[in-house]
Amino acid sequence: MKWLVLSVLTLIFWVVLYLYLYLGFFKSVDVRVGEMPGFVLVYKDHIGPYHQINESLKTVEEALYKKGFPCSKTFGEFLDDPNEISEDRLRSHVGCAFDKKGSQLSVAEEKIRKVSKDLGYQFDFRRAKPAVVAKFQGSPAIGPFKVYPKMEEVILDQRLAKEGPVIEVYEVQGDEVLTTYYQPLADHQTSD
């Protein structure tokens, strides 16, 4: 019996250690006040748990790839607070994010707009604006536990005003994912 308990405890230890290393709990989070760049967004609406957006992301990414628009950045824009809305009713936008240059749509962006409409996806663009920006090289799944509290700390410490939901932008870099979190801020911020 003693060996069984010891074996189970050893197994639990190794599983916890593996998850700690695999998910990136040990990795640091870089948080600063900066700017969210402009983005062209092609997305579909997702309703349901935020941790289940992967299939919707893949659907948009694969459809655009087949139309000649490879997506090097995907994103999730999380519209509801999971502490206030039941999991099955959480709303988000998920899809591909393309860097936006200038205030007018370029020829390539017009083509993306047309393709997104043909595919039945939403098309939008976000202008560059002040934001709290956080970068994290660990799993996006632990962002709510590791990244969001640090962003909230900066917002409270500097008395910043949020404007809109957080946008998470995912970039695959080899075997890892770099997630950049943008919490847009009101344009006219003053910090004391």
Per-residue model confidence as pLDDT tens for the chain (192 residues): 777 666 666 666 555 555 555 555 557 788 999 999 999 999 999 999 988 998 999 999 999 999 988 888 999 999 998 889 999 999 999 999 998 776 666 777 888 889 889 999 999 988 899 999 999 887 777 677 788 899 999 999 999 999 999 999 999 877 778 899 999 998 765 444
* Predicted local confidence at residue 153, as pLDDT: 93
Whose CA is closest to 54, among 96, 97, 98, 94? 94
| Per-residue pLDDT at 80 | 92
pTM of the predicted structure, to 2 decimals: 0.82
The four Cα atoms 128, 79, 77, 131 give a dihedral, to 10 degrees, of 30
- With CA atoms as reference, report the closest residue to 137 among 181, 73, 79, 97: 181
pLDDT of 142: 66
Structural domains in the chain plus CATH codes: 28-184 (3.20.80.10)
**Of residues 179, 137, 188, 169, the one with CA closest to residue 40:** 169
| CA 132/CA 36 separation, integer angstroms | 8
Give buried/exposed letters for 21-56 (b at 16+ CB in 10 A, else e): eebbeeeebebebeebbbbbbbbbebeeebeebeeb
Instruction: Indicate the SS3 state at residue 119.
Output: helix
